[in-house]
Amino acid sequence: MVATFVSKAGHIATIPLNEQRNVTAEWYTTICLPKVITELRKINPERRIILHQDNASSHTAQKTRQYLTEENVELLDHPPYSPDLSPNDFFTFPKIKNRLRGQRFQSPEEAVDAFKNAVLDLPANEWNKCFENWF
Protein backbone atom coordinates (compact mmCIF):
# COMPACT_ATOMS: atom_id res chain seq x y z
CA MET A 1 0.00 0.00 0.00
CA VAL A 2 1.13 3.53 -0.75
CA ALA A 3 -0.06 7.00 0.08
CA THR A 4 0.34 9.29 -2.90
CA PHE A 5 0.01 13.05 -3.05
CA VAL A 6 -0.45 15.11 -6.21
CA SER A 7 -1.09 18.69 -7.20
CA LYS A 8 -2.03 20.34 -10.44
CA ALA A 9 1.70 20.54 -11.14
CA GLY A 10 2.03 16.75 -10.80
CA HIS A 11 3.41 14.23 -8.34
CA ILE A 12 4.40 15.49 -4.89
CA ALA A 13 5.20 12.32 -2.94
CA THR A 14 4.50 8.62 -2.75
CA ILE A 15 5.10 7.01 0.63
CA PRO A 16 4.96 3.23 1.01
CA LEU A 17 3.36 1.72 4.08
CA ASN A 18 6.21 -0.63 5.01
CA GLU A 19 5.65 -3.54 7.37
CA GLN A 20 2.35 -2.21 8.65
CA ARG A 21 -1.15 -3.46 8.12
CA ASN A 22 -3.09 -0.25 8.85
CA VAL A 23 -2.67 3.43 8.22
CA THR A 24 -2.67 5.03 11.64
CA ALA A 25 -2.64 8.64 12.75
CA GLU A 26 0.82 7.96 14.20
CA TRP A 27 2.22 6.85 10.82
CA TYR A 28 0.35 9.58 8.97
CA THR A 29 1.66 12.40 11.19
CA THR A 30 5.21 11.18 11.80
CA ILE A 31 6.18 9.65 8.45
CA CYS A 32 3.72 10.55 5.72
CA LEU A 33 2.69 14.17 6.20
CA PRO A 34 6.17 15.49 7.11
CA LYS A 35 7.51 14.20 3.77
CA VAL A 36 4.63 15.75 1.86
CA ILE A 37 4.84 19.12 3.60
CA THR A 38 8.63 19.22 3.15
CA GLU A 39 8.25 18.57 -0.59
CA LEU A 40 5.55 21.21 -0.97
CA ARG A 41 7.63 23.80 0.87
CA LYS A 42 10.64 23.01 -1.36
CA ILE A 43 8.52 23.81 -4.41
CA ASN A 44 7.26 27.13 -3.08
CA PRO A 45 7.98 28.12 0.53
CA GLU A 46 5.70 31.17 0.34
CA ARG A 47 2.61 29.40 -0.93
CA ARG A 48 -0.09 28.25 1.46
CA ILE A 49 -0.74 24.52 1.63
CA ILE A 50 -4.29 23.26 1.20
CA LEU A 51 -4.72 19.51 1.67
CA HIS A 52 -7.64 17.43 0.49
CA GLN A 53 -8.05 14.09 2.19
CA ASP A 54 -10.97 11.76 2.72
CA ASN A 55 -12.64 11.01 6.04
CA ALA A 56 -10.50 8.01 7.01
CA SER A 57 -9.91 7.72 10.74
CA SER A 58 -6.18 8.50 10.40
CA HIS A 59 -7.11 11.72 8.57
CA THR A 60 -9.71 12.88 11.06
CA ALA A 61 -7.86 11.92 14.25
CA GLN A 62 -7.12 14.61 16.80
CA LYS A 63 -3.37 13.94 16.37
CA THR A 64 -3.64 14.64 12.63
CA ARG A 65 -5.75 17.78 13.05
CA GLN A 66 -3.31 19.09 15.66
CA TYR A 67 -0.30 18.36 13.44
CA LEU A 68 -1.86 20.13 10.44
CA THR A 69 -2.73 23.15 12.58
CA GLU A 70 0.85 23.35 13.89
CA GLU A 71 2.17 23.15 10.31
CA ASN A 72 -0.29 25.82 9.14
CA VAL A 73 -1.89 23.47 6.60
CA GLU A 74 -5.49 24.19 5.59
CA LEU A 75 -7.95 21.39 4.89
CA LEU A 76 -10.32 21.26 1.96
CA ASP A 77 -13.49 19.56 3.20
CA HIS A 78 -14.43 16.14 1.87
CA PRO A 79 -18.17 15.38 2.00
CA PRO A 80 -19.09 12.21 3.89
CA TYR A 81 -19.82 9.12 1.79
CA SER A 82 -18.17 10.60 -1.31
CA PRO A 83 -15.27 8.28 -2.12
CA ASP A 84 -14.83 9.35 -5.76
CA LEU A 85 -14.17 13.03 -5.16
CA SER A 86 -10.41 12.67 -4.80
CA PRO A 87 -8.22 13.28 -7.88
CA ASN A 88 -6.37 10.09 -6.97
CA ASP A 89 -9.62 8.10 -7.14
CA PHE A 90 -10.88 9.36 -10.50
CA PHE A 91 -7.60 10.26 -12.23
CA THR A 92 -4.30 9.01 -10.79
CA PHE A 93 -5.17 5.44 -9.83
CA PRO A 94 -7.10 4.55 -13.02
CA LYS A 95 -4.32 6.00 -15.22
CA ILE A 96 -1.57 4.17 -13.37
CA LYS A 97 -3.56 0.96 -13.16
CA ASN A 98 -3.87 0.93 -16.96
CA ARG A 99 -0.13 1.60 -17.39
CA LEU A 100 0.89 -1.19 -15.00
CA ARG A 101 -1.72 -3.75 -16.07
CA GLY A 102 -0.21 -7.17 -16.77
CA GLN A 103 3.16 -6.45 -15.18
CA ARG A 104 4.60 -8.68 -12.45
CA PHE A 105 6.89 -7.44 -9.71
CA GLN A 106 9.45 -9.37 -7.70
CA SER A 107 9.04 -7.28 -4.55
CA PRO A 108 6.81 -4.62 -3.02
CA GLU A 109 9.64 -2.11 -3.49
CA GLU A 110 9.75 -2.85 -7.22
CA ALA A 111 5.98 -2.31 -7.46
CA VAL A 112 6.22 1.02 -5.60
CA ASP A 113 9.07 2.14 -7.90
CA ALA A 114 7.02 1.22 -10.99
CA PHE A 115 4.05 3.16 -9.57
CA LYS A 116 6.21 6.25 -8.89
CA ASN A 117 7.76 6.10 -12.38
CA ALA A 118 4.35 5.81 -14.02
CA VAL A 119 3.06 8.80 -12.03
CA LEU A 120 6.15 10.84 -12.91
CA ASP A 121 5.65 10.02 -16.62
CA LEU A 122 2.25 11.74 -16.71
CA PRO A 123 2.64 15.11 -18.47
CA ALA A 124 1.91 18.37 -16.64
CA ASN A 125 -1.01 19.25 -18.94
CA GLU A 126 -2.84 16.08 -17.85
CA TRP A 127 -2.49 17.08 -14.18
CA ASN A 128 -3.82 20.55 -15.02
CA LYS A 129 -6.85 19.04 -16.79
CA CYS A 130 -7.44 16.71 -13.84
CA PHE A 131 -7.65 19.58 -11.36
CA GLU A 132 -9.72 21.77 -13.69
CA ASN A 133 -12.25 18.93 -14.00
CA TRP A 134 -12.16 18.32 -10.25
CA PHE A 135 -13.04 21.91 -9.39
Q: Structure pTM?
A: 0.76
Q: How confident is the model at residue 63 (pLDDT cuts 50, 70, 90)?
A: very high
Q: What phi and psi, each to the nearest 5 degrees, are found at residue 76?
A: -95, 120
For the ranges 1-5, 43-47, 125-129, the maximum mean pLDDT occurs at 43-47
The bridge status of strand 73-76 relative to strand 10-16 is: unpaired
Instruction: Render pLDDT for 79-89 as a digit per residue (tens, 0 to 9).
Output: 776 666 777 77
Closest Cα to residue 119, out of 102, 97, 89?
97
Instruction: Render pLDDT for 112-130 as a digit per residue (tens, 0 to 9).
Output: 899 889 988 888 888 878 8
Closest Cα to residue 37, out of 5, 76, 85, 3?
5
103 pLDDT more than 90:
yes
92 vs 10, 48, 69, 71, 95, CA distance in Å? Answer: 10, 23, 27, 26, 5
In this structure, which CATH number among 3.30.565.10, 1.20.140.10, 3.30.420.10, 3.20.20.70 belongs to the domain 2-134?
Answer: 3.30.420.10
93 pLDDT more than 80:
yes
